[in-house]
Amino acid sequence: MESVEYSPNTPLEYQSETGRLNILGFWIFLGAEIALFSTLFATYLVLVGRTAGGPGPGELFEISGVLIETFLLLTSSFTCGLAIHYMRNHSLKGLFLWLGITLALGLGFLGFEIYEFVHYIHEGAALTTSAYWSAFFVLVGTHGAHVTMGIAWIILILIQLKQRGLTPDTTRKVFISSLYWHFLDVVWIFIFTAVYLYGMVM
């Protein structure tokens, strides 16, 4: 596999064996992440209704805040895809611009989520209030922790891009972090559906 021929059109991140294996390895990691989140979803869904006499989701969830978070993250997933598009057209400027927008939207999402959590705690629904809220904060909080991690990761990659430019190494890192970022939106789709929609419709 050493001297595989590739056309000059092959994206930089796929041009080395290491790059290809890293990307494949990351897909396998994402498979494990799906399994991890499925256990948190299972726990949450079993504990729906176990509010121990405290507030329930229907009383606290607000559609406007949830929609803002959803569209911030969805749009950031889109702009992250555009960043990869520009990277593959060898446009470092376009990559910086769209990754920067992605980060800003991600930070906006995180801000709204922190505000939402603080709001719930003020309303008397904290991690220790009931089994239901424990499951809620662990599930949504784990996703939020992933987003935080993704933002930090992408910032570090941006610094490296600034220093080294577009190389097979840096493009691979950008591409893998973009997979991670899209994946966070995929998880959010299910949080939006199983936690917020379900909680408000119930």
Partner 1 sequence: MSNNEQTNSHSHFPWSHLIGFGLSIFLTLLALWVGFASDFSLRTIMIIVVILALIQAAIQLLMFMHITESDSSRIQVGTILYAVFIAVAVVAGTIWVMSFGMHNMNM
Residues that bind partner 1 (CB under 8 A): 4-7, 9-11, 14, 20, 23-24, 27-28, 30-32, 34-35, 37-39, 41-43, 45-46, 49-50, 63, 67, 70-71, 74-75, 77-78, 80-82, 85, 88-89, 178-179, 182-183, 185-186, 189-190, 192-194, 197-198, 200-202
Query: In the complex with partner 1, which residue's Cβ is closer, 21 or 159?
Result: 21
Beta carbon nearer to partner 1, 44 or 117: 44
Q: Helix 92-122 to helix 63-88 angle, to the nearest 10 degrees?
A: 160
Q: Are 102 and 182 in contact, with CB atoms under 8 Å apart? A: no
- Picking from 135, 147, 140, the residue whose alpha carbon sits closest to that of residue 183 is 147
Residues 108, 110: Cα–Cα separation, whole Å: 5
H helix or E strand, kind and range, residue 88: helix 63-88
Least distance in angstroms from the C-beta of 131 to partner 1: 11
Token pair recorded at residue 173: 């890192």
Shortest approach of partner 1 to residue 193 CB, angstroms? 4
**121 or 198, CB closer to partner 1?**
198
